Amino acid sequence: MEAKQSDDAAVLIPKPESKGKAVVDAPPPPPVAVAARKATVLRRVGWKKGVAIFDFVLRIGAAAAAFAAATAVGQAEQVLPFFTQFLQFHVEFTDLPTLTFFVVANATAGGYLVLSLPFSITCIIRPHKVGPRLFLIILDSVMTALTIAAAGATTAIMYLAHNGSTDANWLAVCQQYTDFCQQVTGAVVASFVAAVFLILLVAVSAFALKRSSH
Amino acid sequence: MEAKQSDDAAVLIPKPESKGKAVVDAPPPPPVAVAARKATVLRRVGWKKGVAIFDFVLRIGAAAAAFAAATAVGQAEQVLPFFTQFLQFHVEFTDLPTLTFFVVANATAGGYLVLSLPFSITCIIRPHKVGPRLFLIILDSVMTALTIAAAGATTAIMYLAHNGSTDANWLAVCQQYTDFCQQVTGAVVASFVAAVFLILLVAVSAFALKRSSH
């Protein structure tokens, strides 16, 4: 904010600068230098706007991936076509606490990403504002952690479900529940995509914050 | 760096604006204002130095936690006091791929944190430099993701090992391997501590980058 003020002041106070090339004859600064300076400022603002728009697009992509992951696991269930006297073979995400965490974490991240869109728009409209960007970079990294933790945990569980573990005497349950496992594995990939987008968002915000210092 | 230049320019060209109300009309800036400005700059540098030192301390703490986690799991093994004709009951981290990933990820994060200490020192010595800080914030968030993924995956596995899963017919192997499970659970906590420190490092770097813009 202060940076912006000082920029504005520098542009506005010596009158002839406000319209660059058109005005002549102003004794204080030579017009060519002023025009060059104004072009630099404009280019900088354009660069920042571009970054902010990229941030906005990434955010929508990450939200879509997170919601897709949450929905895919939330709706995945499978009933096997055979059953014993005592139980029917039926699986859904609430059977494994890790999958419940996966759904909650991805839904939370998706919800946050949608709610953060207005802040991203603020950054597009006012590319020099540092406050919203700082707010976004910190919450983005927390949400990255949440998404990655959920994706990592589910990967570990799905690896066990696919391959089992002879040492722990755990069977590869995916040999029965093929469709369910496929759907959850797809959701894990979507969740990792969301996480990569979120890491990119942190990097983009860091670059934008750096640019603020110019 | 440029921000500093433009600040300086704003101070030098329209003279009276540099300190608003306080300053009078003298063409060379009065010594009081200069002193005040210098004090502000010094305070700002001090603030940034404090942040950089905090970053350094956090980094050492995170490295220690990550190495502790890697070592605890890497050295954990347990042999049960009974065996059958065919197998001896013995467990170590290579039995579960997730634990191998945990050790590798935490060792990597610890190694990165140690290697990043010189950059952190650079930030202490030259608090205004933006390059190393940007480098650190991006690699820090990648390492956060790695640590969190490993910690989340191991949490999921250890939850299964402690409680089993009746739906998947997986037994709670921790009922036999109590010592091993305790050690690994402790390591998971250490890994989460490292991850929290890393998230704090990202937040600290973001604040420091924001401060660069003033």
Q: What's the pLDDT tens digit per position in B135-155?
A: 898 899 999 999 999 999 999
pLDDT < 50 regions, chain A: 1-24, 26, 214
pLDDT tier at B15 (50, 70, 90 boundaries)?
Answer: very low
A98 CB contacts (<8 Å, ≥6 apart)?
A: A153, A154, A156, A157, B156, B159, B160
Sign, CA torsion B22/B28/B32/B34: positive
Report the complex ipTM.
Answer: 0.71
Quote the CA–CA distance of A152 and A150 in Å, as a whole number.
5
Residue A209 has a pLDDT of 83
Q: Is the pLDDT score of B202 beyond 50?
A: yes
Q: What is the pTM of this model?
A: 0.75
Percentage of residues in chain B having pLDDT higher than 70: 80
pLDDT for residue A20 = 44
Cβ separation A151–B154 shorter than 8 A: no
| Cβ atoms of B94 and B134 closer than 8 Å | no
Reference A137, options A202, A59, A63, A200; nearest CA is A202
Kind and range of the H or E run holding A70: helix A31-75
What pLDDT is attached to residue B30?
65
Higher pLDDT: B37 or A191? It is A191
Q: What is the average pLDDT value for chain B, to the nearest integer?
A: 81
- CATH of span B52-85+92-212: 1.20.120
Average pLDDT over residues B174-198: 91
- Given CB atoms, is A141 within the 8 Å cutoff of chain B? yes
Quote the pLDDT of residue B177. Answer: 85
Contact present, A69 and A198 (Cβ < 8 Å):
no
Q: Do A142 and B199 touch (CB under 8 A)?
A: yes
Touching A: B residues 17-36, CB under 8 Å: 17
The residue among B197, B210, B211 with the most chain A CBs within 10 A of its CB, best to mutate, is B210
Q: What is the pLDDT at residue B5?
A: 46
Residue A92 contacts B where some CB pair is shorter than 8 Å? no
Distance (Å, rounded) from C-alpha B197 to C-alpha B55?
Answer: 10
CA distances from A35 to A22, A73, B15, B190 (A): 10, 57, 22, 57
CB–CB of A24/A34 below 8 Å? no
A24-50 exposure pattern, b = at least 16 Cβ within 10 A, e = fewer: eeeeeeebeebeebbeeeeebeeebee
pLDDT in tens, B80-127: 776 666 666 778 888 888 999 999 999 999 999 999 999 999 988 988
